[in-house]
């Protein structure tokens, strides 16, 4: 359940510092959010895919760690990213 190439390019353009930026925290959080949203929709139709739930939990935990880091380093970027990705409402 990977993010489509076109969707990934759009995320890189929107959140990246330049067109080659794939390693910044903002981009990684945005990519993980897209992956989590895609996996969540998968589990609404495939309720018994328990092995896939492990991958979802790993992605959620990784995103949480990156968000904690971003909050510690740059609070304004963290708050802007949370609002733009609509992670917390």
Whole-number percent of the chain with pLDDT over 90:
75
- Whether the pLDDT of residue 76 is over 60: the answer is yes
The mean pLDDT of the chain is 92
DSSP assignment of 7-62 equals HHHHHHHHH-SSTT--SSHHHHHHHHHHHHHHHHHHHHH-TT-HHHHHHHHHHHHH
Domain 5-85: CATH superfamily is S15/NS1, RNA-binding (1.10.287.10)
Give 28's pLDDT tier (boundaries 50, 70, 90).
very high
Please report, for the chain, the start and end positions of each structural domain, with discontinuous segments joined by +. 5-85
Separation of alpha carbons 33 and 53, rounded Å: 15
* 41-68: pLDDT as tens digits: 989 999 999 999 999 999 999 999 999 9
């Amino acid at each position: 359940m990977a993010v489509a190439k076109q969707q990934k390019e759009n995320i890189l353009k929107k959140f990246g510092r330049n067109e080659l930026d794939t390693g910044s925290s903002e981009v990684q959080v945005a990519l993980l959010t897209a992956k989590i949203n895609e996996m969540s929709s998968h589990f609404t139709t495939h309720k018994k895919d328990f092995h896939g739930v492990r991958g979802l939990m790993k992605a959620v935990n990784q995103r949480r760690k990156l968000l904690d880091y971003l909050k510690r380093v740059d609070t304004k970027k963290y708050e802007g990213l949370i609002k733009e990705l609509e992670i917390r409402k």
